[in-house]
Structure 1
Amino acid sequence: MTFEVHNMDMTHGDTLKIKGRIADNCSRFAVNLGSCADHIALHFNPRFDDVTIVCNSMCNGSWESEQRDSNFPFSKGVEVKIQITFKGENFEIKLPNGHVIVFPNRLALGKITYLGVDENFKMVSFKFG
């Protein structure tokens, strides 16, 4: 991860809006939400090599089972907006083309305090509320 925020206060009903540019040579990028870097409630991971989006969660450093979505509206070298709404029991990820992925809050976190974004997604702006 190259961009991290600790001490966020994202609670049920809040929406995180992320705008960034996908690296020209990227094979995948990731946005992580959780309580820390090894306790991730949502790992959002578009993969160009598989042309799929993988969502997963990590509990105490161990990955759980992947959920895959074949709706892939991403292109390398392009600026995109992604919206993630924390619904308490799940996350709703709105992709740039309007498609929504729903992923369960497997860790049953009541609050999201950590955001991590890797170097293949150059963050332009983010806000939540």
Structure 2
Amino acid sequence: MECHLKNIVLRPGDQFKVQGKVASDAERFQIDLGADEDNLALHFNPRFKEDDAAIVCNSKHESTWGEEERHDNPFQRGATFKILIKLTDKLFEVELPNGEELTFPNKEGMEVINYIRVKGDFKITSFKLI
């Protein structure tokens, strides 16, 4: 599954919600926010392999990845989920399915997000810009 949204305008204070179902044999999925495929303010990437089970967050500037951050992965293969991503002036706040929140700094200092890509081993049931 892959979905690209281009020419949108998300600014600090905006948020969006994604609901879906993780594939029963999922290895990973990702949600990317930025200017384009090569310039990402947030790469949100839950991974499910036993030797790499984590949520990896990163940024990308001119096709070069930054330093990744790793977090516990509360997503489960075969389970439905809902996440809410909030944009603030300096960071992204991600509300996870277990009610916890992780934050990731807007390292690239992007003031406007106009590209979203959702890709990987899950099915979207709802996508809403708020």
Whichever residue aligns with residue 7 of structure 1, its letter is N
> Partner of 2:93: helix, strand, or coil?
strand
Residues in 2 aligned to 1:117 and 1:36: alpha-carbon distance in whole angstroms: 13
Deviation, structure 1 residue 59: 0.6
CA RMSD across the alignment: 1.2
Unaligned 5+ segments in structure 2 are none
The residue number in structure 2 matching 1:125 is 126
The residue number in structure 2 matching 1:53 is 55
Deviations 1:51-103 (A, max 9, x none): 21110001111111001112x21111222101100012100000011111110
Q: Is the 8 A contact 1:3 1:119 kept in 2?
A: no
Identity rate of aligned residues, in percent?
41
**TM-score using structure 1 length:** 0.94
The residue number in structure 1 matching 2:85 is 84
> Partner of 2:108: helix, strand, or coil?
coil
**TM-score using structure 2 length:** 0.93
Q: Is the 8 A contact 2:28 2:120 kept in 1?
A: no
Residues in 2 aligned to 1:101 and 1:123: alpha-carbon distance in whole angstroms: 21
Residues in 2 aligned to 1:74 and 1:30: alpha-carbon distance in whole angstroms: 12
